[in-house]
Amino acid sequence: MARTGKSHSPSQTAGEILHRAARIEDAFHRWRERRGRKRGLTTTIIPYSSYATEGWARVLCRVVLTRGTEASKKRAEKVRGWRSFFSIPVNSEVVTVTIGGIQVQLTPGRGGVIDEQVEVAQSPGWQTATLDSAGSDPTTAHIFVVDPTTEFGVISDVDDTVMVTALPRPLLAAWNTFVLDEHARRPVAGMAVLYDRITRANPHSPVIYLSTGAWNVAPTLTRFLRRNLYPRGAMLLTDWGPTHDRWFRSGAEHKRANLRRLASEFPHVKWLLVGDDGQHDEEIYGEFVASHPENVAAVAIRQLSTGEAVLAGGRSKIAERERESSVPWRYAPDGARLAIELRELGLIND
């Protein structure tokens, strides 16, 4: 079985007219690709962890140009800081995905990203997909197949929830994004232990890391999570740069769209939503609770310290809808105290 498809940005539909900034960006990337190929650069596929059901899989990867040597291909996956934002994306290469005994041919969308749902039968648990193209060596993507009997899962923010970044502060955000690598980033106290306890209590539940970060930094975030013993999970990031209809992408809308998608794809799953009170997590989660209360087990909010709240531009206020919500909301400054709150709800064991 095989089919060919074109991957589209989640915010773009076929036939839409691209924003002028997006057209300029696309033309610039095409020029860079032509120039890179003349210099002898070849295609490299960077796989991302994703999720699936027994009937389909969400395939996520990015196609870029490298020098073609093993060392350069490893650097493409391990590149950190500002260099990750200067890789050359490719959206003209056909990628062959082999998964569950079938082959599917996909072409990247804007930014070289493939985000495509593929119909395939698989067994629950972690599975693999092989990604290949005419101009690259095969690579492996890891995909978590959710058991149809699973009724609980975790959706977690990244910045200031599992990793201290003080992202809203422009200069520090730029330093964290473009300069530091994962060794210099600090985990939020107790959160890795909390997530481990949650997944031990719910061993078949999916974990989704939903962030407003760009796909460019996905390898860095993945290594950070692994190094700090966070559970494996799917990574849902967003495109960098202009979108089809605006100069800058909307991180909040990226989160809203993926929450709605997960509710549609897993209507039987109740999610534990984990975030912090320094950005828009409470507002976004509150909207989702109001529209999909049947899909939320609880909301856990990590409270920023006074210093972090100052960097974040202040602490958000608890809205009336949260106090009156039928879904429990829990607040604490770290993972250890959130664990106490969630244990009372029966979401983790002693």
Which of 19-33, 41-55, 96-110 has the weakest average pLDDT? 19-33
Say whether 14 sits in a helix, a strand or coil: coil
pLDDT band at 6 (very low <50, low <70, confident <90, very high): low
Residues near 232 by beta carbon (within 8 Å), at least 6 away in sequence: 49, 126, 142, 144, 207, 226
CB distance 132 to 30 below 8 Å: no
> Which tens digit of pLDDT belongs to each residue from 105-140?
999 987 889 999 999 999 999 999 999 998 788 999
Cα-based torsion angle of the residue sequence 240, 31, 79, 311 in order, rounded to the nearest 10 degrees: -30
| pLDDT number for residue 310 | 46
| pLDDT number for residue 326 | 87
How many whole angstroms separate alpha carbon 183 and alpha carbon 194?
Answer: 21
> Which tens digit of pLDDT belongs to each residue from 191-244?
999 999 999 999 999 999 999 888 888 888 899 999 999 999 999 998 765 444
How many whole angstroms separate alpha carbon 284 and alpha carbon 151?
Answer: 22
Check whether 312 has a pLDDT greater than 90.
no
| pLDDT number for residue 176 | 55
* CA angle at 229 for the pair 226 and 231, rounded to the nearest 5°: 80
When pLDDT is averaged across residues 160-164 and rounded to a whole number, the result is 90
How many whole angstroms separate alpha carbon 217 and alpha carbon 85?
Answer: 8
How many whole angstroms separate alpha carbon 126 and alpha carbon 203?
Answer: 12
Residues of the chain with pLDDT > 90: what percent? 53
pLDDT band at 278 (very low <50, low <70, confident <90, very high): confident
| pLDDT number for residue 269 | 98
Residues of the chain with pLDDT > 70: what percent? 70
| pLDDT number for residue 66 | 78
Residue in 32, 35, 49 with CA at minimum distance from that of residue 112 = 32
Domains of the chain: 4-33+42-145 (2.60.40), 152-344 (3.40.50.1000)
CB distance 329 to 301 below 8 Å: yes
Check whether 168 has a pLDDT greater than 60.
no
When pLDDT is averaged across residues 80-87 and rounded to a whole number, the result is 54
Question: What value does the mean pLDDT of the chain take?
Answer: 81
Top-confidence residue, 325 or 71: 325
When pLDDT is averaged across residues 71-93 and rounded to a whole number, the result is 61
| pLDDT number for residue 37 | 63
> Which tens digit of pLDDT belongs to each residue from 259-272?
999 999 999 999 99
- Phi and psi at 277, nearest 5°, equal -100, 20
When pLDDT is averaged across residues 166-182 and rounded to a whole number, the result is 55
When pLDDT is averaged across residues 251-257 and rounded to a whole number, the result is 91
Check whether 57 has a pLDDT greater than 60.
yes
| pLDDT number for residue 247 | 43
106-117 burial, b at 16+ Cβ within 10 Å, e below that, comes to bbbbbbbbbbbb
When pLDDT is averaged across residues 177-196 and rounded to a whole number, the result is 80
Residue in 255, 275, 269, 191 with CA at minimum distance from that of residue 228 = 191
| pLDDT number for residue 33 | 63
Burial class (CB in 10 A: 0-12, 13-18, 19+), 253: middle
